[in-house]
Chains A and B, each alone.
Chain A
Amino acid sequence: MPAPPLEVRNVTKCFGDIAAVRELSFALEPGTITGFLGPNGAGKSTTLRMVGGLLRPTAGEVSLFGVAARDPRARTTLGYMPADPAFLPHLTGSDNLELLAGLRGGADDDVRRRAAGALALTDTDLSRRVGGYSSGMRQKLSIVAAVQHRPTLIVLDEPANRLDPIAHHSFCELMRDLAMAGHTVLLSSHVLAEVEAVCEFVLLVREGALLKSATVAQLRENAPRVVTVTRADGTTWVTHVAAERPDLLRGLLADPDVVDLTVVPASLEDVVLSLYTGSSTP
């Protein structure tokens, strides 16, 4: 059986006495997009940095296609985008891309052109010095840098940060295209709408440990429905009804005082909020 694009096995990472990641385990399916979610300080960036070979796990193992992430050979398949990309400011966008591609065995011009085009990075933009870029343009450039060498595994740390809505939409399209072409994508994000739009799987972490791993559809399916009830006297109230309790909905429908009933499936945001705040169990 071929090794998964990314496998994190019982990984713990400590900084002094603080455990940023605790016995974390997961594996990615090839050709999928997986969202990596969690509140600030949950250990997402630390985990992604271990995937990028930047940090050494205190315990456990991170492997890319079966090769340890610290081994440079593992990173021939990797496209990595940091949360705060820091380019060489005196070089143009193109020169920065060339430099980074050169370290990764060269760029695929077609992929670079398509990615830059999708994110509306024009040749004029790329011929300017990065020092004069807006933060959004730097973000776009780092997305292009992460995919330009046609990596099999793409790891993106909060890619939606600083993107305008149009660029964000294009980014989602680009990720879907890459997954369709067989690339595996792992992206951490706080923008749940983005995760819902592009991701098939989600990994939820809290305090460095895995809280839940499921498909987006499974999470939403098992989550409580949002029910808005309007009574004859005009009062309206909103409640949550567990997926496994359709009898409660039937009871509301049978109530003669209820004149209107709206049932909306839970969004990923509802699910995530309920998981992290513990307001109800999805």
Chain B
Amino acid sequence: MRALVIADLRNRWRSLAALAAGCFILLIALSGTYSAYGGAAGFASTFGAGKTPRLFSAFSGTSSGDVFSPPHFLAFGFGHPLFLVLALSVAITSGVAAIAAEVETGRSELIFTAPVRATQILGARVVEWAIAQIAVVLGALAGALIGAQLSGDLSQVSLAVPVRAAAQFCTLAFFVAGVAFAASAHARTRAAAFAPTMGVTAGSYVVNLVGLLWSPLSWVRWINPFGYYSPVDAAEHMQWANAAVLVGAGLVLFAVARLTLTRRDLA
């Protein structure tokens, strides 16, 4: 199985390197933006001390808290829409490629005729995703840490802040990967796996945003995965309950993927 993991990673290393580099640059650029704006003082003079426009808060994934304080801003990088697109694309593409792409291309006929259980192949693909996801998150974390050191206000923030935000992000990525793997285990084509995964991910993001912007619909946050992910809140302390919900739901989705795979045709 190790050979399969290595072959898959070799196949994707350029795109993974690009995604990791993208996250790295984005997080450095956000720190640079903070400094260029004048840091906490600059934001306070623009919006008023401790007053964050609701749209900014919503985009950072929280309904409370001052996202312009140094620790919150540093953590906000892990909730930035562009970061989410870059980093979650690893979970989505890995999951979609795991089974559906093999069936679509016909490669399943070479791989799944080997004397190994289909679920072992699925396990190898999950390991491959985990390695790829960690590599991209580490790229982002490195960007946040270096960017913080280069910025006056952010350099005072504890290193634990971006680490907690990155760890919290991993729970969201685990959930999204679960959706992608479950869809892939059911689908015969990449498109058929990609569509529901993107639908769930993008749809949930929009629903969560609406819930954050409009109080009467604030309850919708708790019926979608992004409601359980707030890197700004994680800047204070790890959100264990939220992490448990996402990991629990992700485990259920991986179990569904496993069960679906054992019951389906692979050609």
A-side residues, CB < 8 A to B, are 49, 52-56, 72-76, 78, 80, 82, 84-88, 90-91, 95, 98-100, 102-105, 142, 145
Contact = CB atoms under 8 A, between A and B. Distances in A.
Contact of B110 (A56, A100, A105): A100
Contacts, number: 77
A37 to B, nearest CB: 21
B191 interface: no
Contacts of B106: 82, 84-86
A174 to B, nearest CB: 19
Given A56-B265, A76-B115, A88 B109 contact: no
A53 B109 contact: no
B113 interface: yes
Interface stretch (B4-12, B35-43, B61-69, B126-134): B4-12
B111 interface: yes
A178 B265 CA distance: 30
Interface in B108-125: 108-117
B267 interface: yes
A74 B115 CA distance: 7
B267 A54 contact: yes
Interface residues of B, number: 21
Contacts of B265: 54-56
Contacts of A49: 109, 267
21 contacts: A49-B109, A52-B109, A52-B267, A53-B112, A55-B265, A55-B266, A55-B267, A72-B116, A72-B117, A74-B115, A75-B115, A76-B115, A80-B110, A82-B106, A86-B106, A90-B10, A98-B3, A100-B110, A102-B3, A103-B115, A104-B114
Nearest to B105: A86
Contacts of A54: 108-109, 112-113, 265-267
Nearest to A52: B113
A103 B109 contact: no
Interface in B1-49: 3-4, 7, 10-11
B127 to A, nearest CB: 15
Contacts of B115: 72-76, 78, 103-105
Given A99-B3, A105-B115, A87 B110 contact: yes
B10, B11, B111, B267: residue with the most chain A Cβ atoms closer than 10 Å? B267
Contacts of B107: 86-88
Contacts of B7: 88, 91, 95, 99
B110 A91 contact: no
A74, A86, A102: residue with the most chain B Cβ atoms closer than 10 Å? A86
A104 B116 CA distance: 8
**Closest 3 A-B residue pairs measured CB to CB?**
A82-B109, A103-B114, A54-B267
A98 B113 CA distance: 15
A90 B114 contact: no
A278 B3 CA distance: 52
A75 B10 contact: no
Given A55-B265, A91-B7, 12 more contacts: A52-B113, A54-B113, A54-B267, A55-B266, A72-B117, A86-B106, A86-B109, A86-B110, A87-B110, A88-B11, A88-B107, A103-B114
Nearest to B265: A55
A52, A73, A74, A85: residue with the most chain B Cβ atoms closer than 10 Å? A52
Nearest to A69: B113
Contact of A145 (B11, B110, B112): B110
Contacts of B110: 80, 82, 85-87, 100, 142, 145
A56 B4 CA distance: 25
Nearest to B266: A54
